[in-house]
Structure 1
Amino acid sequence: MSYAPEGSSYWYGGSDPEPRALLQALRAFRRADDAMRVRASRDMDMNLTDLRALQHVMAREQSDDPVTPRSLASALGISTASTTKLLDRLCASGHLERLPHPSDRRSVVVVASPHAHVEVQERLGRMHDRMLAIAEAVPPSGRAAVHDFLVAMTAEVGREHDDEAARSVAVRGPAARR
């Protein structure tokens, strides 16, 4: 039994099947990416938020803007109290280190430990190499279009919506839309 209006595509409208296939492939990628993150966090004996924190810290190490507990809390969308507990866990497990802030004596910065870098490289390095090879296989003439598509989708998915249908699903479940 379908509750979608007759002749409509539940997830995506339009008559051209190629854009729908592209969106379905993107959804499949997101599911696979989520599953990979669950496996990685399980293999590293940490929860998903801990893994996100470690990834954030490692990614930011390439910038001149050090990660503070407050900036990490903001990036993860969690409270500073939760961040303190998270940092306590990841420092105790040897994945992160708290160091004095280079320019603010009252603050600390968070860095990934050498152990964390080795563990991430051992667990994810080969997969990242294969992912890079897949990206390199995209014809140079199509790379800008793929890039622009992914950037636009990231912006759209990350945007907060004032959408009654989405709100009803989130608050009351699918039956509320009928």
Structure 2
Amino acid sequence: MSHDESNPPAPGTYWYDPKNAGVSSAMEVLRAVRRFRVADAAMRHRAQAEMQINETDLMAIRHLIACERQNRVASPKDLSEFLNISSAATAKLLSRLTASGHIRREVNPDDGRAQRLFATSSSHEQMRQALSGTHEQLMQVAVGLAADHQAAVVHFLDAMSAIAMMPHPDTVAREAAAAAAPGGEPASA
């Protein structure tokens, strides 16, 4: 929807027209999502401060703990893909987390070369101390929802996640232009 200069959108409406049916309540849902994202970021920052690590380190440790809970063994490649960082950045991260005692690396007994990654017991304990009270309260909120509300929330958040993970249309267009141009370079206009 476009707005002309003489009739700017109402404050806080961005590009949505709150007069359209359902938009006003949908905007409240999106505002609630934003409030949760801010609160979640604050929770992660508290955990980072308590554990004296950065955000990528925290994400890595949480991923390793999640893998262990799912009886999966993480590898450096798996961690690189999860964090969306290069293998060189992953190597630095692993060295830093090994030196700080947050993770341990083992040689994969199946091939003798590949590494397997695990969060240390002290990382598990630090994570529990930093997040357990909050996680217990979050679980109580989720348990308090009726089953159909739980299913609706899961559906909504999964749909929002799918949209958020989509590449921006400009990025897709640039990549398509680069692939179509001779030599892989975007064609100039």
Q: For the superposition of Structure 1 and Structure 2, which TM-score range results when normalised by the shorter chain?
A: 0.7 to 0.9
* Aligned length, in residue pairs: 164
Amino acid across the alignment from 1:20? M
Give the match for residue 55 of structure 1.
Answer: 62
Q: CA RMSD in A?
A: 2.3
Taking only the aligned residue pairs, the percentage that are identical comes to: 36
Could you tell me which runs of 5 or more consecutive residues in structure 2 were left unpaired when the two chains were aligned.
172-189
Q: Cα distance, 1:7 vs. partner?
A: 4.3
4+ aligned runs moved over 6 Å, structure 1: none
Say if 1:106 and 1:140 are closer, same or farther in 2 by CA, change over 3 A: same
Tell me, in whole angstroms, the C-alpha distance in 2 between the residues paired with 1:20 and 1:4.
24
TM-score (norm 2): 0.79
Tell me, in whole angstroms, the C-alpha distance in 2 between the residues paired with 1:140 and 1:81.
45
Q: Cα distance, 1:151 vs. partner?
A: 0.6
Amino acid across the alignment from 2:66? A
Q: Which among 104, 122, 125 is matched to residue 97 of structure 1?
A: 104
Matches within 5 A, 1:29-40: 29-40=36-47
Q: Cα distance, 1:114 vs. partner?
A: 0.7
Give the match for residue 20 of structure 1.
Answer: 27
Q: Which among 5, 8, 21 is matched to residue 6 of structure 1?
A: 8
TM-score (norm 1): 0.83
Q: Cα distance, 1:145 vs. partner?
A: 0.9
CA contact (8 A) 2:57 2:97 kept: yes
Could you tell me which runs of 5 or more consecutive residues in structure 1 were left unpaired when the two chains were aligned.
165-178
Q: Which among 124, 133, 143 is matched to residue 140 of structure 2?
A: 133
- Larger C-alpha radius of gyration, 1 or 2? 2
SS in 2 for 1:61: helix
